[in-house]
Amino acid sequence: MLNFASLQPPLSITGLDDLPDAIVVIDQHGQPLLCNQQATQILAGYFPSLWQVDATSTHRVLDRYHSPLSAEQLPLQRIVAGATLNNEEFVLIQNDSSKKRWIALSGGPCTGSIKAAGILSIRDVTVFKQEETRLQRQAFLDELTGLANRNAFIARVNAGLAQAQPADSMALLFIDLDRFKDVNDNLGHQVGNELLSQLGERLQHQIQPETSLVARLGGDEFAVLMEHITSQDDAIAMAECLQAIIAQPFQLQQHEIYIDACIGIALGARHYGHAEDWLCDADTAMYQVKAIPDRHWFVFDSSLQVQQSQRLQAEMELRRALDNGELRLHYQPIVTISTQAIIGFEALVRWQHPDRGLLMPGEFIGTAEATGLIIPLGWWVLEEACRQMQVWTQAYPDTAHFTVSVNMSSKQFSQKNLVQRVSKTLAQTGFDPRRLKLEITEGVLIDHSESIIDVLEQLRAMGIRLAVDDFGTGYSSLSYLHRFPFDSLKIDRSFIDNADQDYEKLEILQSVVRLAWNLGLDVVAEGVETQRHYAQLKALRCESGQGYLFSKPLPPDAIEAILVKDLELDLPAD
């Protein structure tokens, strides 16, 4: 019977004690033939467990993941069987977990000696491992909130996915704060950080740590994993509860701050291969929340995925269109109603799509707005319109008084350098600012309210003219016309259409024209399609008009054909 209780080899060579590592030579039964001092210290009590599984032993050897080893996996067995180990890590642990030590073991079989079957060197790496664990913990912790960070969250979700049974239901909640940027911008980063930290505590307090994990993914994004839910209602209840605690005021350095959150929920378990895919779906659902006013949460469904991939595709194509110069401008003449003379054009964007032909703005402006691409698109339109007008001015001096109207999107007004950019474009193209009209819909005024007045005043000070576009389709608040410095009013075609038959419409049209006059605004009627419209506008003494009756929007060469013919449109008979 072999004695495994301690490491007491028959031989000892003193020189070996000077080596930094523990050295052991074993026979084919895993018995120590030779060892140094270090080996006795490191392996005392554990040596038998390196060779055989003994349920009664108080000392055990585990693999680096703390899993028990079968007999064939034990290091000495492997060496005797002929394997070579290269710095393989093992954990030496007492059953009551009171002591734990990490070792790195190298070794292999011995040849040439009848008795020695293998030699191994062992290094105690406990200190390194403790430091590694500390660093790892740090790498998995969000410093600001003390919550799990993105890495930790992904790791836990992946582990949850790997262990999930077919019947298990889990939920992932993606939380994004609204207006957090405003807090940072207006009150400073310190207040912003304090808010995130307080929010972290609130969220942590709300979940059950045994079955849920809350993490800060970065910025103002948080996520919650619920590992066991019975139905989607549990996840919704959690989302509502989190929303309610987020909506409670935050007391931050004398400021009482209210914020809101959008929460995307993705249910699932086994059908997700990876945590990132699952998070992506919850993120998609979160964006859906943002699109619906007064909504705080949304549960992902796969049709959203289709929508999102279509959106991404459209965005990619539009980006390419901008890079490859696939955008075009068409110009629609604006005429003086009384004289029928052209006084300018409205520049309208088109997309010469390589596969789908010429696309109208209705097919891509929405994508451009949603993705922010409307900003580069808008600048391109402005530059191109000014450039083209300058070319025509030089080629056809009679057009030197023509104006060009350019549509401006609300997003463009979020740009801080808007005025400088417009001014630079005018300077670069040499186009006279007094011939530029910027068309703005009421939506822009609503989005930016007071902050826009200053910008509009600056544009106007440069000589640029400003028009309210599509008047009558939005809020049609007449107070806007007083408050904002406009020069023109473009009446939407829905007002013009049928005005001759619909008495009420006619009344409104009449009073809008009169009001515009009183405010010193000139009026442009949009969508003049028929002789009847034309006659009506003449009777109302509306100054100018734009519509298919005069001309459709035309590409530059077709406009040139008109300019060559002495500015004559095939206008209707008087």
- Binding-site ranges for ligand C2E (CB under 6 A): 332, 348-349, 360-362, 365, 374, 378, 381, 407, 409, 439, 469-470, 493, 526-529, 546-548, 553
Tell the smallest beta-carbon distance from residue 533 to Mg ion (Å): 15
- CB nearer ligand C2E, residue 67 or residue 501: 501
Show the site string, 504-543: x = touches Mg ion by CB under 5 A, - = not.
----------------------x-----------------
Residue 325 binding result from Mg ion, ligand C2E, none, given CB thresholds of 5 to 8 Å by partner type: none
- CB nearer ligand C2E, residue 229 or residue 374: 374
27 binds Mg ion (CB under 5 A): no
Tell the smallest beta-carbon distance from residue 306 to ligand C2E (Å): 26
- CB nearer ligand C2E, residue 48 or residue 527: 527
Instruction: Map the footprint of Mg ion across residues 79-98, applying CB under 5 A.
Output: none
Q: Let me know the angle formed at the C-alpha of 220 by 219 and 225, rounded to the nearest 5 degrees.
A: 105
Tell the smallest beta-carbon distance from residue 153 to Mg ion (Å): 47
407 binds Mg ion (CB under 5 A): yes
DSSP H/E element including 16: none
Residue 365 binding result from ligand C2E, Mg ion, none, given CB thresholds of 5 to 8 Å by partner type: ligand C2E
425, HSE (Cβ side, Cα atoms, 13 Å): 22
Question: Which residue carries 């007002």 as its tokens?
Answer: 495
Q: Are strands 212-218 and 59-63 parallel, antiparallel or unpaired?
A: unpaired
SS3 163: helix
Q: Which of 470, 484, 491, 563 binds Mg ion (CB under 5 A)?
A: 470
Q: How many residues of this chain interact with Mg ion, rule: CB under 5 A?
A: 5
Of the candidates 45, 1, 10, the residue with the CA atom closest to the CA atom of residue 115:
10
Residue 527 binding result from ligand C2E, Mg ion, none, given CB thresholds of 5 to 8 Å by partner type: ligand C2E
Q: Which of 27, 176, 439, 442 binds Mg ion (CB under 5 A)?
A: 439
- CB nearer ligand C2E, residue 264 or residue 547: 547
SS3 557: helix
Residue 349 binding result from Mg ion, ligand C2E, none, given CB thresholds of 5 to 8 Å by partner type: ligand C2E
Q: Let me know the angle formed at the C-alpha of 282 by 210 and 319, rounded to the nearest 5 degrees.
A: 150
Residue 20 binding result from ligand C2E, Mg ion, none, given CB thresholds of 5 to 8 Å by partner type: none
- CB nearer ligand C2E, residue 497 or residue 560: 497
Tell the smallest beta-carbon distance from residue 449 to ligand C2E (Å): 19
Tell the smallest beta-carbon distance from residue 147 to Mg ion (Å): 49
Contact (Cβ atoms closer than 8 angstroms) between residue 104 and residue 121: no
389 CB-contact burial (10 Å; exposed 0-12 / middle 13-18 / buried 19+): buried
- CB nearer ligand C2E, residue 357 or residue 362: 362
Phi, psi of 381 (to 5 degrees): -60, -45
Phi, psi of 185 (to 5 degrees): -70, -40
Tell the smallest beta-carbon distance from residue 346 to ligand C2E (Å): 6
194 binds Mg ion (CB under 5 A): no
SS3 123: strand
488 binds Mg ion (CB under 5 A): no
Tokens of 503: 């008495």
For residue 522, CA distances in Å to 107, 466, 496 come to: 93, 11, 16
Residue 121 binding result from Mg ion, ligand C2E, none, given CB thresholds of 5 to 8 Å by partner type: none
Q: How far apart are CA 291 and CA 84, in angstroms?
A: 61
Q: How far apart are CA 33 and CA 19, in angstroms?
A: 18
Tell the smallest beta-carbon distance from residue 244 to Mg ion (Å): 43
Residue 409 binding result from Mg ion, ligand C2E, none, given CB thresholds of 5 to 8 Å by partner type: ligand C2E
- CB nearer ligand C2E, residue 279 or residue 528: 528
Tell the smallest beta-carbon distance from residue 435 to Mg ion (Å): 16
- CB nearer ligand C2E, residue 275 or residue 365: 365
- CB nearer ligand C2E, residue 102 or residue 345: 345
- CB nearer ligand C2E, residue 101 or residue 328: 328
Q: Which 8-state DSSP code applies to residue 141?
A: B
Q: How far apart are CA 62 and CA 85, in angstroms?
A: 15
Question: Which residue carries 């009026």 as its tokens?
Answer: 523
3-state secondary structure 322-390: HHCCCEEEEEEEEEECCCCCEEEEEEEEEEEECCCEEECHHHCHHHHHHHCCHHHHHHHHHHHHHHHHH
162 CB-contact burial (10 Å; exposed 0-12 / middle 13-18 / buried 19+): exposed
Tell the smallest beta-carbon distance from residue 539 to ligand C2E (Å): 19
- CB nearer ligand C2E, residue 317 or residue 469: 469
SS3 75: helix
Q: Which residues bind Mg ion (CB under 5 A)?
A: 407, 439, 469-470, 526
